[in-house]
Structure 1
Amino acid sequence: MQNLEEQIAHLTRTVEDISDVMARQQTEIATLTRRVQMLMEREAGREESGGGSATFGNERPPHY
């Protein structure tokens, strides 16, 4: 009986630890999601104002 109580205590502690980790991860995911959204909005604004002249792949920059 004592062995079962020890296992239950251990499992309870493990569940609480996992719950704490998941809560921290959820907060971090929410923060990162907001940051990505802000960056996407900022980039969309740059493209609208004509400042989005990035060079991609094999494209030649405008000064060639």
Structure 2
Amino acid sequence: MTDIHELLSRLESLETQLAFQEDTIESLNQLVTKQNNELKTMSERMRWLGRKLNQLQNNESGPDADPSQEPPPPHY
């Protein structure tokens, strides 16, 4: 009879551990999904910033542009 009680106790302990592990796995899965979405958003923003940076670098009227290359003001 003691063996049955021991086995039932061990089974209950294992079921409890399994329940906690399943909860932990679900929480981690939600976290990974959230981080994946954030990573996608950040990647899109980085690509957008890269395009903007290229546009600014290719723009002749930027802050580092040669003033002699700028067109004259409209009153000339």
Q: Please indicate the TM-score interval, normalised by the length of the shorter structure.
A: 0.7 to 0.9
1:1-60 CA-to-partner distances (Å, cap 9, x unmatched) read: 00000000000000000000000000000000100110010010011112263xxxxxxx
Please identify runs of 4+ aligned residues in structure 1 that moved more than 6 A.
none
> What's the C-alpha RMSD, in Å, of the aligned pairs?
1.0
In structure 1, the partner of 2:48 is: 38
Instruction: Work out which of the residue numbers 6, 15, 30 in structure 2 matches 1:5.
Output: 15
**Aligned length in residues:** 53
Q: Within 1, Cα distance between the matches of 2:17 and 2:63?
A: 59
Matched residues in 2 for 1:31 and 1:4: separation? Answer: 40
Q: Which residue pairs with 1:14 in the alignment?
A: 24
Instruction: Tell me the TM-score normalised to structure 1 length.
Output: 0.78
Unaligned runs of 5+ in 1: 54-64
Higher helix share: 2
CA distance in 1 between partners of 2:29 and 2:63 (Å): 43
- Which structure 2 segments of 5+ residues have no match? 1-10, 65-76
Between the aligned residues of both structures, percent identity stands at 23
Bigger CA radius of gyration: 2
